[in-house]
Amino acid sequence: MIPVQGLTGAKVAILGLGRSGLSAARALAAGGAVPICWDDNPAARAAAQAEGFDCADLGKAGVFDDITRLIVSPGIPHLYPAPNPVIVTAQDAGVPVDNDIGLFFQSFATLAWDNFGVVPKIIAITGSNGKSTTSALVHHILKHAGRPTQLAGNIGRGVLDIEPAIDGEVVVLELSSYQTDLARNLTPDVAVFTNLSPDHLDRHAGMGGYFAAKRRLFAEGGPDRAVIGVDEPEGRFLAGQLSEGAADDRVIRVSVDRKLTGLGWQVFARKGFLSEYRGGKQIGSIDLRSITGLPGAHNHQNACAAYAACRTLGFAPKIIEAAFHSFGGLPHRSQTVGEAGGVRFVNDSKATNVDSAVKALAAFRNIRWICGGLEKEGGLGSLSEPLETVRKAYVIGREAAQFAMKLGVEAEVCGTMDVAVARAVEDAEAGDVVLLAPAAASFDQYDSFERRGEDFVAQVQKHLTDT
């Protein structure tokens, strides 16, 4: 646990008692603060009280008179589409609003570091797609290289649940826009921006607000090094804002769309080869084509970002390359779950928006595509264009018929996962890939993309067992 510093003896209100809220309460108490908890769910309040925390209705008048700070869980809106009434009350009372990420950054460094040979570092990774894989890959490279490391944030453990850093340790954080938008303290040593595509637009009032939330990690965080994906206009804009000129190697530009040129620090992938250039000269290269845990251009972008982040720590390209080959990938992200009769089954349930689904579809050929679910704001967009890699789509979800009509490929309305997998298996031939890449949220049929992916795996296993 990371005890919260700087709030000893202060009353700190906590709104939302999920994983991050309870974690914040424990860390605040460990640092000598007095947590005052609230959640609209009685069961969540009971769980907090069972741990000895006081609960008080934060919506009552005068409750913030002696509160020093309000800590808000990431699922609770603080501005758009409308702020939670408790947050409005706190702001009217002049009480600062923060989250567990802000508490972590203000508390991570300790006096014990004075005796360390190598000061601990934080690598923070954000973006629309690929941030989980990039975070896990950086963590894997560090472990492979023998560097002490912990993985936390939007992946793995809560940020305040990790152990205090030891000599030379590197903490890898995956941060969502919900987390970066509100945190009062953001001070990573290395910050990574993977890419940007439409997502969570209602929460941020459009693309501008969404990008602004991501940008805070860099503009207000002031990292020593910034790794920026520049294949979208927002990434190019951000890299330009952070750089002092063409040769400024504090900014590392990353691309999978084109070869990057110039005197700065560049990492890009073309035709399956990663290249690193610095000062106009190539200083590293990796053949990514045979790395099974990183298939497709979207994973090559993740590889470039992870490579660049680890190069800032001084790791040699050969060490990073060896770690790439032992990386197994993450569940529900281009995860091969079986193969039979020359047909490969791939679970990419995390492809919850159009952009991530398109990237998954570009990673394979001869695809039997399982898709559908709760359509996100912005519609299906590019999915209405012909998709040359797709042989046929098998559509699930409560609105499967409407979803199928918007696809630019032959589509069969299946409704449920068991039917979709059965029909795809029946149609599949040697050389085909049965790919779950929904391009939609899961909440019409499942409580998370993980449950959806697990259902796909279970249905695939039934058919593999029968063959």
pLDDT at 387 over 90: no
Asked whether 434 and 343 are in contact (CB, 8 A), the reply is yes
Question: Which of the four pLDDT bands, split at 50, 70 and 90, describes residue 141?
Answer: very high
CATH architecture designation of domain 335-466 = Alpha-Beta Complex (3.90)
Give SS3 for 135.
helix
pLDDT tens-digit map of 407-420: 989 999 999 999 99
pLDDT tens-digit map of 75-134: 899 999 999 999 999 999 999 999 999 999 999 999 999 999 999 999 999 999 899 999
pLDDT at 386 over 80: no
47-53 contacts, C-beta under 8 A, 24 or more apart: 47/17, 47/22, 48/17, 48/22, 51/22, 51/25, 51/26, 53/25, 53/29
CATH class held by domain 108-325: alpha beta
Token pair, residue 82, equals: 């409308």
The residue that leads in pLDDT, 292 or 234, is 234
Q: What is the mean pLDDT of the chain?
A: 94
pLDDT tens-digit map of 421-465: 999 999 999 999 999 999 999 999 999 999 999 999 999 999 998
pLDDT at 174 over 80: yes
Q: Which pLDDT does position 356 carry in this prediction?
A: 85
Question: Which of the four pLDDT bands, split at 50, 70 and 90, describes residue 145?
Answer: very high
Binding-site annotation: residue ranges: 127-133
* Range name among 153-167, 227-241, 381-395 with the lowest pLDDT average: 381-395
pLDDT at 334 over 90: no
In percent, the amount of the chain with pLDDT more than 90 equals 86
- Given phi > 0 = left and psi -120 to 50 = alpha, else beta, which region is 245? left
Strands 149-153 and 343-347: unpaired
Q: Is the link from the previous residue into 81 a cis peptide, with omega within 30 of 0?
A: yes
Q: What is the mean pLDDT of residues 391-402?
A: 96
Q: What is the mean pLDDT of residues 37-56?
A: 96
Q: At 146, which amino acid appears?
A: G
The domain segmentation of the chain, as residue ranges, is 11-98, 108-325, 335-466
Q: 11-98, what's its fold?
A: Rossmann fold (3.40.50)
Token pair, residue 463, equals: 């058919």
Closest CA to 69 of 32, 35, 23: 35
pLDDT tens-digit map of 232-281: 999 999 999 999 998 999 999 999 999 999 899 999 999 999 999 999 99
Binding-site annotation: residue ranges for ATP: 127-133
